[in-house]
């Protein structure tokens, strides 16, 4: 192993030395030092986990930019979030990849890094995105490319870069008006975490019990999800560690928010204490909770814990049912009716796909692009926070893990055909900015829906036909209005009382309301 092959190889070599020293008797620590003291790495005794314990040296090897930890602009429903799986987005320097990187193995690290994100901030901004959400960047165990198998909660995984690079990313993003959300995990550690062999942390975990019954509340919070070691947040040491650790990451990096992983597997009491501590120091810090549940009452219970935004699986299910080869827009309308159960529905995150769910392009055997555009049209015009998963803009497909986590292909962003959705997303971003504030559903049936959105006295009528055939609909309306096509010259008038509307197949139409 040589030092001249690149920074990541240098870090890997340092790790071997560091691990040998640890095996000779160094003890891992129990608690976080003060917030002004750099945190050190936890050590692993696993030969195969060498990449998980070198990040502290790597972080210290580069002079970091000073982060700005004052939250100057809170994330709101005016924002658009671009969601990036760091390992699968952009490899800034393939020659410096660590030895375990394998671009042919979908379940291995493939080389994406933080510098790759920095290199594409202009691209991200061109999509209309105003925030980015990064999968966890903490040091992971073997094959933890996705970031959710954390070995060391106090360092940046050397596959992705170092703390200095993360700080640079945040600072440069802020300079461009882009906010940064970091994925944060408190529910579990990675498989064979060094904490499991640390006698001082023997009581930091729930007993090794498989999670089989997701309807059992106790098992949901204490079972080992997919066999991952489940942390016991009722232990004051565990709770104190993660609250201090979360504040440390904010202080060190100047990020604007956390996306909180697997929230429903952790008690409400913990989240109340966690959010309270974060908000006490950073009142405008954004907390986005992942609660994989379509019940709006269940989702709302986490709003009451102090969580600003939730992944809206209720509307996600409605969107999936509405825009497919057997469309059922009534399912989406039913989900819209349940939005009244939220105290702040506009703060929730709305999405059509992500790293846990099949890409939308894979949901349908035909007309994939058309259905994807319909789903995006609704997502961007409904008053909430759209989350665009990397690659959706180039119509990437892929059903379930790991197919939905393929490496980003930027060459497709230059292709001039229907699979390049970037111009359409840029258009939708403008529509959202100018018109998405309030929402009023005017008409819906199995195939079609018409609704009005408005913002600051600017009104827009949106008409969607999810059928693959033309539809003429008749409906009563309590007001009269003049309509002008947003991107064309067509003008229409809706009268008080009965109206008729003809919609082309698989289209969304936008009309400025002029009266």
Q: Alpha-carbon distance 11 to 336, whole Å?
A: 51
Strand partners, 499: 475
Strands (E), 355-470: 385-389, 438-444, 448-455, 458-465
Q: Could you say which DSSP state residue 502 is in?
A: E
> Do 406 and 106 contact (CB within 8 A), yes or no?
yes
C-alpha distances (whole Å) from 192 to each of 28, 229, 366 are 15, 8, 43
One-character DSSP codes across 187-199: SB--TT-GGGG-G
CA atoms within 13 A on the CB side of 120: 23
> Please, which residues bridge with residue 152 across strands?
139
3-state DSSP assignment of residue 311: strand
The pLDDT score that the predictor gives to residue 479 is: 81
CA distance 436 to 141: 43
Report, as ranges of residue numbers, the positions in the chain whose pLDDT lies below 70: 1-72
Burial 381-391 (b: 16+ CB within 10 A, else e): bbbbbbbbbbb
Inter-CA distances, 271 with 187, 226, 266, Å: 11, 22, 8
Residue 507: strand pairing partners: 465
Locate tokens 């928010």: which residue? Answer: 257
| DSSP H helices in 382-491 | 422-435
The residues with which 181 forms a beta bridge, in sequence order, are 133, 257
CA neighbor of 90 nearest in space, from 110, 108, 116, 114: 116
Strand pairing report for 385-389 and 349-351: parallel
User: Prior bond to 402 cis, omega within 30?
Assistant: yes
Comparing C-alpha atoms, which of 85, 33, 31, 13 is closest to residue 401?
85
Q: CATH assignment of 440-513?
A: 2.60.40.1180
Give, to the nearest 10 degrees, the angle between helix 313-322 and helix 368-381.
140
Joined tokens for residue 398: 């892929």
d(CA 51, CA 185): 19
Q: Tell me the Ramachandran region of residue 333: left when phi exceeds 0, alpha when psi lies from -120 to 50, beta otherwise.
A: alpha
- Rounded-to-integer distance, Cα 129 and Cα 121, Å: 10
> pLDDT digit string (tens) for 82-133?
999 999 999 999 999 999 999 999 999 999 999 999 999 999 999 999 999 9
């Amino acid at each position: 192993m040589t030092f001249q092959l690149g920074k990541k190889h240098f870090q890997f070599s340092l790790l071997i030395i560091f691990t040998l020293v640890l095996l000779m008797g160094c003890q891992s620590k129990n608690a976080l030092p003060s917030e002004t003291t750099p945190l050190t790495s936890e050590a692993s005794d696993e030969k195969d986990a060498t990449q998980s314990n070198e990040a502290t040296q790597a972080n210290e090897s580069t002079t970091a930019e000073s982060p700005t930890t004052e939250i100057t602009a809170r994330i709101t429903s005016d924002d658009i979030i671009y969601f990036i799986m760091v390992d699968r987005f952009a490899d800034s320097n393939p020659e410096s990849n660590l030895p375990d990187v394998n671009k042919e193995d979908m379940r291995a690290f493939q080389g994406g890094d933080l510098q790759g994100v920095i290199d594409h901030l202009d691209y991200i901004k061109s999509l209309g995105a105003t925030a980015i959400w990064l999968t966890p960047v903490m040091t992971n165990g073997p094959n933890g490319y996705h970031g959710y198998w954390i070995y060391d909660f106090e360092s940046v995984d050397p596959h992705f870069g170092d703390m200095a690079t993360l700080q640079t990313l945040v600072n440069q993003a802020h300079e461009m008006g882009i906010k940064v959300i970091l994925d944060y995990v408190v529910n579990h550690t990675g498989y064979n975490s060094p904490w499991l062999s640390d006698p001082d942390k023997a009581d930091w975990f729930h007993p090794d019990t498989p999670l089989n019954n997701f309807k059992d509340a106790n098992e949901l919070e204490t079972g080992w999800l997919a066999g991952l070691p489940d942390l016991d947040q009722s232990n004051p040491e565990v709770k104190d560690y993660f609250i201090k650790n979360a504040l440390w990451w904010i202080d060190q990096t100047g990020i604007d928010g956390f996306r909180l992983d697997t929230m429903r597997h952790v008690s409400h009491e913990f989240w109340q204490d966690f959010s309270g501590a974060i908000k006490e120091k950073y009142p405008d810090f954004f907390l986005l909770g992942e609660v994989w549940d379509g019940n709006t009452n269940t989702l709302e219970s986490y709003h009451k814990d102090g969580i600003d935004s939730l992944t809206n699986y209720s509307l996600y299910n409605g969107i999936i049912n509405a825009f497919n080869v057997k469309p059922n827009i009534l399912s989406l309308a039913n989900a819209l009716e349940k939005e009244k159960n939220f105290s702040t529905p506009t703060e929730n995150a709305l999405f059509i796909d992500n790293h846990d769910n099949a890409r939308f392009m894979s949901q349908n055997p035909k007309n994939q692009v058309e259905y994807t555009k319909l789903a995006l049209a609704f997502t961007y015009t409904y008053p909430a926070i759209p989350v665009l998963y990397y690659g959706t803009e180039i119509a990437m497909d892929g059903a379930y893990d790991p197919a939905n986590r393929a490496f980003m292909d930027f060459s497709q962003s230059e292709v001039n055909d229907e699979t390049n959705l970037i111009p359409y997303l840029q258009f939708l971003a403008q529509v959202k900015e100018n018109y998405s504030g309030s929402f009023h559903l005017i008409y819906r049936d199995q195939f079609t829906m018409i609704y009005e959105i408005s913002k600051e006295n600017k009104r827009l009528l949106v008409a969607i036909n999810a059928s693959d055939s033309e539809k003429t609909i008749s409906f009563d309306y309590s007001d009269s209005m003049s309509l002008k096509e947003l991107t064309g010259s067509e003008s229409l008038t809706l009268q008080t009382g009965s109206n008729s509307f003809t919609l082309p197949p698989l289209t969304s139409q936008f009309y400025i309301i002029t009266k």
